[in-house]
Amino acid sequence: MAQMTYLDHNATTSTYPEVVEAVSEVMRLSGANPSSIYGAGREARKRVENARAALATLVNAKTDEVIFTGSGSEADNMAIMGSGRTRVLVGETEHSAVLKTALLRTGDSQLLPVSKEGVIELGALEERLEGKKSPALVCVMAANNETGVLQPVRDVADIAHEHGALVLCDAVQAVGKIDVDFAAWDVDYMALSAHKIGGPPGVGALLRKEGVPFNSLVTGGGQEKGARAGTENVPGIVGYGVAAEIVKDTWQINAKRVAGFRDDLERQVLELSPGSEIFSVKAPRLPNTSNFSLPDVRSDTQVINLDLANIAVSAGSACSAGKVDLSHVLEAMGIASEIASTAIRVSFGWNSKVEDVHAFIAVWQKMVRSASGEATAA
């Protein structure tokens, strides 16, 4: 089978070999329950705490603020439902793990509009917070998973705290691509995920600032200091810690490298198809992410044609059980449905190379020519 050109790192990025090795080593251990007091249990506990420290260092948090979870989505749910706030303000372009939880499981939720570039409207946030008696939870993502747009997290936190609100920041897409700073951003909760930074799937983390309210959703044992019952996923957590250590030392170099790939890709996209639109290009973005349209060619058609050439990209979010629906993110930005339905996302990762750009452009150029009728005319 031909080697795949993988350009969907925002869905899940490639696992570091060092992570695979570390996870395998832990899985071969016997009696590695970190709640056990005998030797093997103590060794497992030590490995979990080492990983906790590595993750805390990566995002400038205290180790006591790190709660390991099963995913970033679980972390979002834990914060929203565990904060005790029934009034939730959530950006229209948030990940579905935040949007659906806020809208379906809380008593009073409101959507916060975004600009045409996808940046949250701070004036609207302040307006919705002013004069309200019930304290709110404000949800703001650090970076959008579809467009890569960066939100003004600290500004949101400052406004929210002035009105007695708490803040949840979903930073799942941001870690490893920009500098994520839990302390400096001054948010109350932060959701993270291992498989987005080269760690294993099935493990994430919720950061919770000391002293903020939190009610555990899963009761039973006293794991994670009572915040999340259930035996910890030691292999996954250890792998997460290894990935965190690698990313801490390499993210800046990788960010600069993939930004070059993205810029080169976008330049060629517009040269080949001047009618294409690159979304959120005027806003601060992740260095690895590009979302753009190909007029008159549906998103799923592009994805399938690229897949036939063994190139993996996505149409919108990849977290919707294999379905390709119109993007709620582009809709919130005011993008017409006939344009949004032709958008795809390309996202680079730590092991991407310039040849990946060349492979994509070669196939995409054929689709452009086919759409314009050049192939038939030739």
Residues marked active site are found at 319
Please classify residue 219 by burial: count the beta carbons closer than 10 Å to its beta carbon, then call 0-12 exposed, 13-18 middle and 19+ buried.
exposed
- Six token digits for residue 6: 């993988």
| Structure tokens, 96 | 């579905």
293: which strand partners?
343
CA atoms within 13 A on the CB side of 122: 10
Under 8 Å between Cβ of 307 and 2: no
β-bridge pairing 136-141 and 66-69: unpaired
- Residue 243's H or E segment, with its range, is helix 234-272
> Closest Cα to residue 313, out of 93, 96, 4, 14?
4
User: Tokens 């996302």 correspond to what residue?
Assistant: 345
> DSSP states of 141-186 as a string?
ESB-TTT-BBP-HHHHHHHHHHTT-EEEEE-TTTBTTB---HHHHT
Q: Is 137 helix (H, G, I), strand (E, B) or coil?
A: strand
